Amino acid sequence: MACAPIGLRGVRRARTLKGVLLALVLVFLLCLPLLVRIGTRLVRHEWDQIAEQRAAQRSEGPSIERVAADLRRLRRQLEARENQPGSTGKGMKMGAVRVAYVETLCTACRQLEVRPPERVGRLQTPLAEIYRVECELRSRGLDVRTPGRVGSG
């Protein structure tokens, strides 16, 4: 008979444990919508912060020093191609370099608040427009000519 009371205590403990576990599960299930809502808000907040950081990085673009270096490099390439005797594909290569140069000029114009060059068609920009923009950029402190070669251009 000594075994019966110990068995009843074990059964009572098991029932109490089951009751506590059931209560914990019920509390968790009742709090689950709140936890999901909080988790969703946290994820959305993080998502928005990442999106804002990426938008800021995109809108900034390259530094003006980087743009100036690119402009000088592209202008040197244009001058070298223009002065190069006739070679195969010279027109296409010059056209590609000129388009890259004009695109980089437009980037500099946005950064220094200068009116960008006006284009005739999609790919053609008159030389007068390029010279106008170079002059305006020079007046704003950005000389696209290679340092030391002031007389050319």
pTM to 2 decimal places: 0.56
* Residue 151: pLDDT band with limits 50, 70, 90: very low
The first and second tokens of residue 87, run together, are 């070679």
Task: Report which DSSP code applies to 118.
Answer: P
**Region 19-31 average pLDDT:** 91
pLDDT value at residue 78: 87
Top-confidence residue, 145 or 69: 69
Report angle CA 54, 64, 81 to the nearest 5 degrees.
115
Q: Is the dihedral of CA 7, 9, 12, 13 positive or negative?
A: negative
CA–CA dist 102, 116 (Å, integer): 9
Average pLDDT, integer, range 84-113? 85
Predicted confidence (pLDDT) at residue 27 exceeds the cutoff of 90: yes
